[in-house]
Chains A and B, each alone.
Chain A
């Protein structure tokens, strides 16, 4: 029952449509979640999901196996999301001033920094917190958002994320760092004063 991705890909190439359905079942949740986080809106996420798997089916002969199937799949999925974002009018500008959320360290002076509550699980039971977090993620420029989702939410390595996005490992690391700092900054004013 438990075929590897590679086995399924070979079967699909041999004309086995059920193998394709098995592959879709395996990854549809992850691709949908990527879309929800990249695009926020449920309808767009569903469109992106359908488009991605159609591209997978049609492009499978071009998949050479140099990267793993999942990296290739996420590259397609991320590109579908980024294309949708580029066609939007309401997307935050690419030059969102991330600096606003970075701490300012002047010589000899520190900003007032307070810790957040200690129990992440409890913070997340609160619906408002989850919404704040999604909202913050949605404010990141798309290229930063994509890196953060792949690395920190989906657990890709730097190399895999770089391959999926067509950027260098150094670019992955630098975008990830700025994305994390910015999210921390955006969530700080909310979590600092919150009792859970």
Chain B
């Protein structure tokens, strides 16, 4: 059962290679998965120039694993942001203020 998707994936890969070769022949650089990987944080942070963003997006149209990779990387960041709202325990707050008063005012 596992093998079922394989011929299709191979076909996609082969056709992508042909497409990439055409672009190379036209003198345009083609981004490989590895090149994409190095740029992903800057891509997600909006720090890349628009031309490179386009190249990455074009690559992802044909490369499902890279698309999923970007999605899960984005989710990693979002999840940590969401998960970070732990409140300061009241007793920790009180002990901090007592400690500082003692140390700073000597009382």
| Interface of A toward B, CB cutoff 8 Å | 17, 20-21, 24, 28-29, 32-33, 36-37, 46, 49-50, 53-54, 57, 102-103, 105, 108, 110-111, 113-116, 120-121, 123-124, 129-130, 133, 137, 148, 152-153, 173, 176-177, 180-181, 183-184, 187-188, 191
Decide yes or no: A181 and B34 within 8 Å by CB, A20-B104, A50-B99 being known contacts.
no
Number of interface residues of B (CB under 8 A): 40
A20 CA to B82 CA, complexed, in Å: 30
Could you write out 13 A-B pairs with CB less than 8 Å apart?
A20-B104, A21-B97, A36-B86, A50-B95, A50-B100, A57-B100, A57-B103, A113-B72, A115-B68, A116-B71, A173-B47, A180-B73, A181-B37
What residues of chain B lie closer than 8 Å to A121, measured between beta carbons?
Answer: 82
Q: How far is the CB of A25 from chain B (nearest CB, A)?
A: 8
Residues of A within 8 A of B58 (CB): none
A177 / chain B contacts, CB cutoff of 8 Å: 38, 40-42
Contacts of A181 in B (CB 8 A): 37, 40, 73
| Nearest chain A CB to B100 CB, angstrom units | 6
Complex-state Cα separation, A191 to B75, whole angstroms:
10
Task: Tell me the minimal C-beta distance from A152 to chain B in angstroms.
Answer: 5
Q: Given A105-B33, A113-B68, A120-B79, do A180 and B88 touch, yes or no (CB 8 Å)?
A: no
Partner of A152, one of B40, B65, B77: B77
Per DSSP, are chain B's interface residues mostly helix, strand or loop, or mixed? helix
Query: In the complex, what distance in Å separates the CA atom of A183 from the CA atom of B33?
Result: 19
Q: How far is the CB of B52 from chain A (nearest CB, A)?
A: 15
Q: Which of B59-107 contact A (CB under 8 A)?
A: 65, 68-69, 71-73, 75-84, 86-88, 92-93, 95-97, 99-101, 103-105
Chain A neighbourhood of B65, CB < 8 A: 110-111, 113
7 extra A-B contacts, CB within 8 A, seeds A108-B13, A177-B38: A17-B104, A20-B104, A129-B79, A152-B77, A152-B81, A173-B47, A187-B76
- Fill in one digit per residue for B20-43: 1 if any A CB lies within 8 Å of its CB, else 0: 000000000000111001101110
- Given contact pairs A173-B42, A176-B41, A152 touches B80 in the complex (Cβ within 8 A): yes
Q: Is the CB of A173 within 8 A of B41?
A: yes
Knowing A110-B33, A115-B72, A173-B42 touch, does A124 contact B100 (C-beta < 8 A)? no
Q: Is the CB of B105 within 8 A of A17?
A: yes
- What residue in chain B is nearest A12 (Cβ atoms)? B104
B1 to chain A, nearest CB (A): 14
Looking at the complex, which one of A20, A32, A53, A184 makes contact with B72 (CB distance below 8 Å)?
A184
CB neighbours (8 Å) of B100 from chain A are 20-21, 24, 50, 53-54, 57
Residues of A within 8 A of B33 (CB): 105, 110
CA distance in complex: A123, B82 (Å): 10
* A77 vs B73: C-alpha distance when bound (angstroms): 28
